[in-house]
Amino acid sequence: MTASQAPPVDDAEVIVQSLTQPELFAQVYDRHAVAVHRFLARRVGAQLADDLAAQTMLTAFDTRRRFDPAHGSALPWLYGIATNVLRRHARASVRHLRALSKLDPYPLEARHDEDVSDRVSAEAAGRELAAGLAGLNANERDVLLLVAWEGLSYEEVALALSVPLGTVRSRLHRARTKMRTALMEASDDRP
Amino acid sequence: MTDLDQIERLRPDVDDPSPYWLAATRTALLERTPRRSWEHHRSRRSTLIAAAAAVAVLATIAVVMPGSSALTAAAHDQYYYVKEAHGGGGSPSGTLELWYPVGSADPVQPWHPACDHGAVTGMPYRCHPMGGSGVGWVADYTPDEPLGNLSVDQFRALPTDVDQLRTKVYEQARQWQAIQPPDGVRGGVYYSPDLDQQAFLVIDAGLRTGRAPQPLAQALYRVLLTIPGVQATQQATDSAGRPGVGVARTTAGFLYRLMLVFDRSTHGFLGEAGSYPGSVSILASGPVAKVGDRP
C-alpha cells in the first residue's frame, strides 16, 4: 500500500471527518492546543491554564458537532470555548490581572534611547491599564482582549463569542472608553 | 500610540505549555475516542475525571519510575523468549521462536531456513542479527545504539518516565536523520526527513524486536501518543489477526502507512498492522531460565 501524503485540510474538514473518526480530532489538538493554552495563560497564569486548556480541548472534542464547518479555522471557536471555561473562573482572571498591575508591564522594553521619565510614565500607565482591565465587566474584557491580545478580527470575535457583530463593536467601544477614562484619571492623579 | 496599542503591549509574555502537559492532554483526548458511542451521555464531571486520571497516571509513572530507574531483572532470567509472527503484504507468513541472552540482541537459537539467504520477501533485515547478510542492514556506523539493536538488559535500563523516554526517542531520531543511508534503511530503522515520523519509526524499531519489557512497551505507547500527527483507532488488527488499539502515522516519502497495534486494556505491544509487508507481531515474550524454555 503506497501512502502519499494526504493534502493539508482545513480544520473544518478535519472536524467533519472526526464525527465518524474521532481520533482525527487529534489534528485539531496538534494545531491549536498551544495557542489555546497561551491564551488562557495570559488570562489566568500558567498553572491554572493547564487545567482550563485541558477542559477547553476536551469540551471542544465533545461539542465538535456544533462547529460550523463554514468557518475554516477552528481557532476562534476554540477561543470561544476557552472564554466560556474562563467565565467559570472569572475571579481567578481578575485576580491575575490585578497581579499584573503590580508588575513592571514593560520589563524588556527599557530602551537606552528612551528618556527615563517617559519610561517611568509608560510603566505607570501599564499598571493602570492592567488595573483598568480588571475593572471592566467580563463581556467587555473578553472582547477587548481577544482583539488586542489575540489579534482576532471583529468577525472572529463575534464567532468566538456567538454574538452579533454589532455587539462586538459596542462592547469594544465601551471597553475602550472605560480604559481611556481610567488612564486619564490615573494621569490626573499622578504628580 | 492608541489605547489598543497600549493594551497590546501589556500582553503578558507567557511560555508555551510544557511537553508534559501537551502529552498528557493529548493522551486524554485520544483515550476518550473509543467510547464515543455512549460518551455523550456522560457528564462533564466524568469527562474531566477521565482527563485528570490520564494526567495522574503519567504523573505516577514519573514519580514512581524516575528516568534513571531500571526495570529490575529477576536474577534467574538468563534468556528472553520471543515468539514472533511474520505476515502482511502477501509475504510468506510464519512464526519464529527466539531465545535472546538478556545481555545480547543476537538470539542464541534462531530458526528460519531462509534467514541466512535473505530470501524471505519482506523480512530480510530481520535475519541479519542471526548472522546473515540481510538486505538493508547497514552496520558500519551507528551514532547510538538504536532501539532495534538493544538487548533486554539495555531495554530494561531505559527510563519509563514518558518525558524522559520521549527525549531519548527524539535524540535517537535526530541521530538517524543525520546519517541518512542511501537505501533508506539503517540498522533496521527506516529514514524519514520528518522528525516526528522518524521518532515513530524509532519506536517501531524497538517494539518490533519483542524484547522491550511490558512496562517499557506501555511507556512507548504513551510516547507514541505524544507524537504530533499520530492517529489512533480502536478498530485495528495486527498481522496475526488480533484486534487492538492501532496507532499510525503517515508522512510523505515513506512507502507504507505503518500502524502499531496495542492491547486495548494493558497497552502492551501486539504487533504491526497486517498491511505492512514483513510486518511483525509478537505472539509471546518473557524471561526464561534457559534456551528451550517458554514463559
CATH of the domain at A14: 1.10.1740
Do A122 and A185 lie in one domain? The reply is: yes
C-alpha cell recorded at residue B147 = 532501539
Residue to mutate among B11, B13, B29, with most A CBs inside 10 A, is B29
Q: How far apart are CA B26 and CA B227, in angstroms?
A: 9
Highest mean pLDDT among A125-134, B67-76, B199-208: B199-208
pLDDT band with cut points at 50, 70 and 90 for residue A123:
low
ipTM above 0.85, yes or no: no
Alpha-carbon distances of A117 from A114, A123, A184, B5, rounded to whole Å: 8, 10, 18, 20
Q: B7 at the A interface (CB within 8 A)?
A: yes
Please report whether residue A47 resides in a domain.
yes
CB contact under 8 A, A54 and B252: no
Please report whether residue A130 resides in a domain.
yes
Question: With a CB-CB cutoff of 8 Å, which residues 220-259 of chain B face chain A?
Answer: 228-233, 250-257
The minimum CA-CA distance between B151 and chain A, rounded to whole Å, is 32
Please report whether residue A100 resides in a domain.
no
pLDDT digits (tens, 9 = 90+) for A157-190: 998 988 888 899 999 998 888 888 877 765 565 5
B281, containing H or E segment: strand B279-288
Q: How far apart are CA B243 and CA B240, in angstroms?
A: 9
Per-residue model confidence (pLDDT) at position A75: 94
Per-residue model confidence (pLDDT) at position B90: 41
pLDDT band with cut points at 50, 70 and 90 for residue A57:
very high
Do A144 and A72 lie in one domain? The reply is: no
Do A187 and A132 lie in one domain? The reply is: yes
CATH code: domain of residue A190: 1.10.10.10
Please report whether residue A60 resides in a domain.
yes
Please report whether residue A1 resides in a domain.
no
Q: Which domain holds residue A150?
A: 112-191
pLDDT band with cut points at 50, 70 and 90 for residue B166:
very high
Of B9, B10, B33, the CB nearest to A23: B33
CA-closest candidate to residue A30, choices B221, B223, B225, B13: B225
CB A130 within 8 A of CB A97: yes
Position A119 pLDDT exceeds 70: no
CB B207 within 8 A of CB B220: yes
The minimum CA-CA distance between A134 and chain B, rounded to whole Å, is 12
pLDDT digits (tens, 9 = 90+) for B7-42: 887 788 888 888 778 887 888 788 766 543 333 333
CB B196 within 8 A of CB B257: no
- Taking residue A15's Cβ as centre, other Cβ atoms within 10 Å add up to 24
Q: How far apart are CA A39 and CA A59, in angstroms?
A: 16
pLDDT band with cut points at 50, 70 and 90 for residue A82:
very high
| Counted domains in chain A | 2
Please report whether residue A2 resides in a domain.
no
Question: With a CB-CB cutoff of 8 Å, which residues 109-168 of chain A face chain B?
Answer: 109, 125-126, 129-130, 133, 144-145, 147-149
pLDDT band with cut points at 50, 70 and 90 for residue B45:
very low
Do A63 and A120 lie in one domain? The reply is: no
Please report whether residue A67 resides in a domain.
yes
- Look-up: residue for cell 467601544? A173
Do A145 and A84 lie in one domain? The reply is: no
CB contact under 8 A, B252 and A4: yes
The minimum CA-CA distance between B47 and chain A, rounded to whole Å, is 8
Please report whether residue A129 resides in a domain.
yes
